[in-house]
Structure 1
Amino acid sequence: MRELAELPTSEVDIAALAALLADPARCRVLLALDDGRALPASVLADEAGVSRSTASSHLGKLTDAGFLTVQTHGRHRYYRLAGPDIADLLERLGRLAPSRPVTSLRDGTRAARLRSARTCYDHLAGRLGVAVMGALLEHDVLTGGDGRYDPRAHPTDSPSSPGHDVEYELAASGRRFLSDVGIELPNGPRPALRYCIDWTEQRHHLAGGLGAAVLGRFTSARWIERPPRGRAVIVTEHGRTALANCFGIDWSD
């Protein structure tokens, strides 16, 4: 996909990409991996609702197209999205795609959980992600914006995609606040401060290296629970206390 993106528009075969995503089973595989974790082929076959052999064919096509990477551990092969650019594409397509009708209580519950708290590749999203971003702004950890998505003031930004129009910065006292709650600002080539426009809340949630560090802290401290499958996360009782004490967030969802 990165190679295609560097070509002139007239040489990009969008139809080939569309054909790859036209199969519902392949789309279910991609969505199952949209939380940034790696899953074995057997689990992805179950997620897609197809046989193991059919899933193997789909996984091969997605891997060859650059959507997935694969690692072998013993007898098992684990697949994950090739990178955040693939997750960004899925988020944008999800924004444009029509909603599937909710036909059961299970579907309705799942949709509500996704709106409440979920992962967006390797960072928090939904109401929880937006609340954490807002708390960091309120506590003057971050400066440069107010967490709001305003299409008139920010014409380059668009829903369900990484943001570019707002230049967030870490305040002088920000590192101490983060350290006090056990979040270490990562070092490395990856930008530390990025944001996405949350597709359900239409506000900013934290991405980049710091967003990944926040998710890592929430997970390791067991402030949230991540089910074996899916992007929805659950705030634990311990997490409710931490949200109130550390961030001033009253999480009663």
Structure 2
Amino acid sequence: MLEGDADIARTAALFADRARVRVLLALADGRSLAASVLAAEAGLSAQGVSAHLAKLLDAGLLTAERSGRHRFYRLAGPAPELLETLARFSPARPVRSLKEGTRAEALRSARTCYDHVAGRLGVAVTAALLERDALVTVDGRPDTTRRDGDRISAQLKEHPYALGPAAGTVFGALGVDLAAVSASRRPLLRFCLDWSEQRHHLAGALGAALTGRLLDAGWLRRRAEAHRAVRLTPEGAVALRDVLGVTI
């Protein structure tokens, strides 16, 4: 078949729908997100987001990865470059409601993942524990980045961490009795691959005990405007900065 000029109109039409652009923008920071999360962030129904995802996949602007029962989507091909170019020539869109502007950001900033902290805060705390030798890695990689085979938004079946030489001191400074938590029948150390940050955060008995301590001390408060979202209080910010050097 002979090919004519590039079909610019066909590609441009994909960006002419505001809802579809919201889906693309939700992925613009390089994350992989499930359809349900994309629907929430883009303000769409499950049926609506599915239709947009199918078109974007067909156009090669997204790629999908299956993890358990869910598929996770991320930008692919020319999508990041196209979004960046179009953004430079587009006027700012006003935020039409406080809920629209704060809910997604609140969940990315800090939220509970079952009974432990996730989001930017959870990932930052876990990285700080590693930097201060409360945790150590046993696979030769000195960070909390995703390892090969890690399932997105899931607890890791195997993890590369162990308690470090400063664990008792650091967790004690945070008000967590490491000996008492270690006596629990629940596994002490577990880790999840955070869906919004794509890095590991602390789970297990130790993650739950630390989160419980942060809430009991008033260093974390639950937010009313977003399900599972929490916020770091001024007192909590000072405590985490002083003990772990965390500033977010």
Query: Deviation string for 1:49-92 (max 9, x for gaps)?
Result: xxxxxxxxxxxxxxxxxxxxxxxxxxxxxxxxxxxxxxxxxxxx
Sort the Cα spacing of 1:227 and 1:105 in 2 relative to 1 into closer, same or farther, 3 A: closer
Match of 2:237 among 223, 231, 240: 240
1:125 aligns with 2:118: yes
In 2, the alpha carbon distance for the partners of 1:109 and 1:96 equals 20
Match of 1:95 among 12, 34, 57: 34
Q: Is residue 95–residue 159 contact of structure 1 (8 Å, CA) maintained in 2?
A: no
Q: Is residue 141–residue 173 contact of structure 1 (8 Å, CA) maintained in 2?
A: yes
Which contiguous aligned blocks of 4+ residues in structure 1 show a shift greater than 3 angstroms? 102-105
In 2, the alpha carbon distance for the partners of 1:121 and 1:135 equals 21
Match of 2:215 among 219, 222, 233: 219
TM-score (norm 1): 0.57
Q: Is residue 159–residue 190 contact of structure 2 (8 Å, CA) maintained in 1?
A: no
1:175 aligns with 2:168: yes
Query: Deviation string for 1:76-133 (max 9, x for gaps)?
Result: xxxxxxxxxxxxxxxxxx7343423247430331110000010001000000000000
The corresponding residue for 2:103 is 110
Which residues of structure 2 form unaligned runs of 5+?
A: 1-32, 44-95
In 1, the alpha carbon distance for the partners of 2:230 and 2:240 equals 15
1:194 aligns with 2:171: no
Secondary structure at the aligned position of 1:182 is classed as coil
Following superposition, the deviation at residue 163 of structure 1 comes to: 1.2
In 2, the alpha carbon distance for the partners of 1:160 and 1:128 equals 16
Equivalent positions of 1:27-66 (< 5 A) are: none
Secondary structure at the aligned position of 2:39 is classed as coil
Q: Is residue 117–residue 124 contact of structure 1 (8 Å, CA) maintained in 2?
A: yes
Secondary structure at the aligned position of 2:241 is classed as helix
Following superposition, the deviation at residue 188 of structure 1 comes to: 1.7
Match of 1:139 among 116, 126, 132: 132
The corresponding residue for 1:249 is 246
Task: Specify the structure having the higher radius of gyration (Cα).
Answer: 2
